[in-house]
């Protein structure tokens, strides 16, 4: 998914999984119908590209758009979620978050995950990001 990113600043991909099935995916990119960073450049404000939705937001919004529940689903993402995505993930009822790379981890995001009792697990970068059968014993 991260390879589909249309923002040149950071390629992030996300999938939401429930009952060992992918129910949604997302990558960081522009909203539908807007120009992409790879075509017109990034629109940076306060060190962040404001042109794009984050991968987690895109995946969660796909579920909302198509009426798919995220309750008790797992979220796999290439990078530790930012503070805003953390709030959305918790509010959406995600059960667990798996990520590979730590990118500007926000201490308050970590605190929110802990308070909400949502486990956030860093996966070994030597493993394939998504395990073939999504088994917790293999990830």
Q: What is the pLDDT of residues 25-45, one digit of tens each?
A: 999 988 889 888 888 888 889
The residue range of the domain holding 20 is 13-26+56-122
pLDDT per residue as tens digits for the range 82-110: 999 999 999 999 999 999 998 888 999 99
What is the DSSP-derived secondary structure letter of residue 2? G
State the pairing for strand pair 74-79/96-101. parallel
What's the pTM value of the predicted model, to 2 decimals? Answer: 0.84
Beta bridge partners of 122: 99
Tell me if 71 is assigned to some domain.
yes
Active site residues: 56
CATH of the domain at 63: 3.40.140.10
Provide the domain count of the chain.
1
43 lies in a domain? no
User: How many CB atoms are closer than 10 A to CB 138?
Assistant: 10
Residue 18: inside a domain, yes or no? yes
Asked whether residue 4 is domain-assigned, the answer is no
The answer to whether residue 49 sits within a structural domain is: no
Q: Give the integer Cα–Cα distance in Å for 22 and 18.
A: 7
The CA-based angle 3-136-57, given to 5 degrees, is: 40
């Amino acid at each position: 998914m991260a390879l589909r990113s249309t923002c040149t600043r950071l390629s992030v991909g996300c999938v939401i999984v429930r009952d060992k099935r992918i129910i949604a995916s997302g990558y960081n990119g522009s909203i539908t119908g807007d120009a992409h960073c790879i075509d017109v450049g990034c629109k940076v404000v306060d060190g962040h590209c404001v042109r794009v939705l984050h991968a987690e937001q895109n995946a969660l919004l796909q579920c909302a758009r198509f009426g798919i529940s995220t309750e008790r689903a797992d979220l796999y993402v290439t990078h530790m979620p930012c503070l805003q995505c953390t709030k959305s993930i918790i509010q959406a009822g995600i059960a667990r978050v798996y990520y590979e790379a730590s990118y500007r981890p926000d201490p308050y995001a970590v605190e929110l995950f802990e308070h909400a009792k949502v486990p956030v697990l860093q996966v070994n970068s030597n493993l394939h990001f998504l395990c073939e059968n999504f088994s917790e014993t293999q990830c």
